[in-house]
Amino acid sequence: MEIFDYDSYFIGKMKLMKIEEKKNFIINVVFGVIIIALAYLFIKYLLPAFMPFVLAFILAYFAIVMARKLFKKDNATVRTVCLIIVYLIIGIIITTITVVVINKLIEFFTTFPDFYTNGIQPFIVQVKKNLLAISKTMPKDVSVYLTSFIDGVFEAINTIISSISSYFIEMATPIITGAPALLINLMVVIVASFYFIYDYERVIEFIFRIMNEKTKRIFDEVKDYVGNKLIKILWSYIKIMFITFVELAIGLLLFGVDNAIIISMLTALLDILPVLGVGTILIPWGIVDICIGNYFLGIGILVLYTIINLIRNVIEPKMVGDDLGLRPLPTLIAMMIGLNLFGIIGMFGLPLIISFYINRKKKASESIAV
């Protein structure tokens, strides 16, 4: 009679289970890579064409939420009023920032030529003379090399300074040439947002109609989870912007800037932008002030930006990670990868997707354990 070998059986079973786990892991990785690749292609090539309608739908959604939450009414008239309020708020912010930037540029272009002739150019000439005098006291071979190097450096400085105006013109050229397309897209956003206001329920009904039952369940799960997390993330960024506002207000008041509180409030709103954030205003502001001779204010603005950026980079991954149930380091890595792959959408979207995936796997494990 043949004796059944239990040890061999269980060892073989364990090997098969490990092989199956490896297969599942590889399949999940490949599936994830395919999803990321498709998302990249969509965001890179298709989303720009749909972006005006996406923005219009988002603005309409905010207006509807405002109508339901603030006014406790939900009809076409209240929705329209709320949408107009949303556009007025956006318009005030953009107009104020534009006025500040244009005023600084006008100040720069009107004062820089005289300041360069009377201040920068004599200073550069004097520094060059001093360095050349020092180089002549050194051995001949070293002196020749240093003289050539100093001439090259100061020639490059003069070239950069003399081409500042053309540099600003080159920067402005894409903005000017892209203005017609921008205006067309803006009109599309405005018109489409009003259509979405009136047809919001029909649009949602149409989306659900083309889904099957499984897709609907996943959509509902994603909507509930993402909606809840987005509110938490939004609240985190409101707190981050408030911290930035306090830092800006303290700094600008110390520097004696007029209307420091108002400028701080409006500039802090840009803290939602990736990479630069408030640097969109502070970096050009600091550079322009240095160029026109306001060294104290210009250097102070750049130092203030460095401090704000450092504090934000420390607290942002921690606060957003806590909201998503992720550790700060994975959150920071996901935000940077998402930003580089998909822009600002990826910066917020990739950590959110990872958080949703981890939460879903955790729920599945708990349900199997039960």
Question: For residue 324, is it within any domain?
Answer: no
* Domain membership flag for residue 95: yes
Domain count for the chain? 1
Nearest to 284 by CA among 64, 51, 108, 38: 108
Residue 178: domain span:
49-210
Residue 69 and residue 254: Cα distance in Å, rounded? 40
| pTM: predicted TM-score of the whole model, two decimal places | 0.53
Whether 168 is in a domain gets the answer yes
Q: According to the model, what pLDDT value does residue 349 have?
A: 75
8 A C-beta contact, residue 146 and residue 138: yes
Position 96 in a domain: yes
How many C-beta neighbours within 10 Å does residue 94 have?
11
For residue 276, tell me if it sits in a domain.
Answer: no
The DSSP line for 155-224 is HHHHHHHHTHHHHHHHHHHHHHHTHHHHHHHHHHHHHHHHHHHHHHHHHHHHHHHTS-HHHHHHHHHHHH
Domain presence at residue 300: no
Q: For residue 341, give both structure tokens.
A: 């792959």
What is the structure's pLDDT at 1? Answer: 47
**So what's the pLDDT on residue 176?**
65
> Closest Cα partner for 353 from 93, 70, 3, 40?
40
Average pLDDT, consecutive stretches of 10 residues, N- to C-terminus, the chain (370 residues)? 54 65 71 72 75 86 84 83 88 78 73 68 72 73 71 69 61 65 83 87 80 72 71 80 89 85 81 66 80 80 88 82 79 79 73 78 63
Please report whether residue 369 resides in a domain: no
Q: Which token pair is 149? A: 């190097």
Contact in structure between 291 and 112 (CB atoms under 8 Å): yes
In a domain, 159, yes or no: yes
pLDDT at 298: 84
